[in-house]
A and B are shown apart, each in its own frame.
Chain A
């Protein structure tokens, strides 16, 4: 009896590991396929049946992206400028607001922080038209500034939420002690809170960097010239410009995905907490 039980248990275990392996392949294979096709010679992509490994590894698609007539380096720079500015400015604003929400009692604290939290569910497409018109009237249409402003509006709330999490973990006694010693509220922020929270601030900045780096909808709507195209916009135009240059498209995809993957894997624990905090801890 006991024997039969343990056998069926190990069968369950075996099936579940096999299932997990299947899901693992499902999750990983597309990345493998992107990488491997970026290293194929252009014609090999169209081989029938498709090859699982390039018969000859070629880096041409990468060197072509950095050829003198290529816009790709420019696109990369644009994305870097937009993502960095959005991340730094949003984190700065969110640090101030998060400190305020976390360490002060004032009328409106709860309702304001709550409505900011709800903006992460806001349908972005619904304000494209007015934002487009506003940016055009302010002369911001077709500038990277428009992308930074619009991106900030939607990353500040997320960043505030993350910063509140970090600040809440700092014991109030620490602040009270400093206040008794004669420090000002602002002094406390700069001398005590910020130095303790450096890791959290860096992680928040990276979190926003990734989302701004990937942003497409604002970028296709608020910029039109090729010189200002960010990586996602340039990628979405790739087919039109070069026919179906699949190796080039895959190489560009790899280079767009790489910073995201590196940042994510190095800050994994923080990201997992960031993703789950809203859903589980409330």
Chain B
């Protein structure tokens, strides 16, 4: 039986079945409108420049001339055949992997200890986090003073414990400069690991440990077979973030050595910065940027995929 009521219902069903731009607009205009400024900023300041880096890398761009002729892969040829790029990439990996390894060791061990302390633990965690939020340039200056040659406190300390016999100009020697900037970066970065691992540890119930203790598991075995596997997800996220942030970290090395001495501490961001704004070779800098973008995209892609896989499981 057809009532006026059911007829209008059928009518509206027909209307939703066919795509109606007007309804769509009415329904979604508010959420899209609220997003608009964020999306505009993102497109204008991140997406568009990222695409134009690719364009610039295939052209000869000079600030002094209006013409920007196409040069094909020439910029890539120049940087890939230079020995500097090889050194820069090696430096970047030494800097990144050593930094995050020691940050992890200190961050993980302090988080484990703080986890057993209740109220005081929270307070200490807050204090220990201070290095993480400090401006990079301030950290650079403090460590430059600490690592100064004769009047530096690090030299005095190391001589007192007998690790070295005469004072070392840590930042002025190519053989020691990288170690020095890594020490400063470990100081800055370990709190991040500590905090994320602490948060992960809170999620592990003490019953699991109790059960393992009843079964006779010792401290090391508990860490190896219970704690680390249960922390797999936070550790995975933290190490991905730390890898990318450390790889791209500019301020600390810029403030401590400016990439020197003799390029001993020159990492990818300092290489791009100096190629573009000290040597004014925009094309080469952009070619380097594109290589960096590709590498980071691959890492982020793998990260995003495995996040989805892991997220789906949990």
Contacts and interface: CB of A to CB of B under 8 A. Distances in A.
A126 interface: yes
B238 interface: yes
B228 to A, nearest CB: 15
Interface of A: 12, 16-17, 19-20, 23-24, 26-28, 30-31, 33-34, 37, 45-50, 93-94, 96-97, 99-101, 104, 106-107, 109, 112, 114, 116, 118-119, 121-134, 136, 149-150, 152-154, 156-157, 160, 185-186, 210, 213-214, 216-217, 220-221, 231-232, 235-236, 238, 246, 249-250, 253, 256-257, 260-261, 264-265, 268, 271-272, 275-276, 278-280, 282
Contacts of B247: 123
B150 A96 contact: no
Contact of A153 (B27, B41, B268, B276): B41
A152 B35 contact: no
A33 B128 contact: no
B52 to A, nearest CB: 4
Given A132-B276, A210-B133, A112 B39 contact: yes
Interface string B120-136: 00001111111111111
A131 B251 contact: no
Contact of A122 (B31, B129, B296): B296
Contacts of B304: 114, 118
A94 B38 contact: yes
Interface string B264-293: 000011001100110000100110011011
A23 B285 CA distance: 40
B272 A128 contact: yes
Contacts of B177: none
| Chain B interface, DSSP helix/strand/loop, else mixed | helix
Interface residues of B, number: 98
Nearest to A159: B38
20 contacts: A16-B113, A20-B113, A20-B114, A27-B128, A30-B143, A100-B31, A125-B272, A126-B289, A127-B50, A127-B289, A129-B285, A130-B49, A149-B41, A153-B46, A160-B38, A214-B138, A217-B254, A249-B141, A279-B238, A280-B237
A271 B282 CA distance: 38
B248 interface: yes
B192 A275 contact: yes
Interface in B65-108: 106
Contact of A257 (B56, B134, B153, B241): B134
Contact of B250 (A34, A131, A216, A275): A216
Given A30-B142, A97-B38, A100-B35, A126 B113 contact: no
B48 to A, nearest CB: 8
Contacts of B303: 121
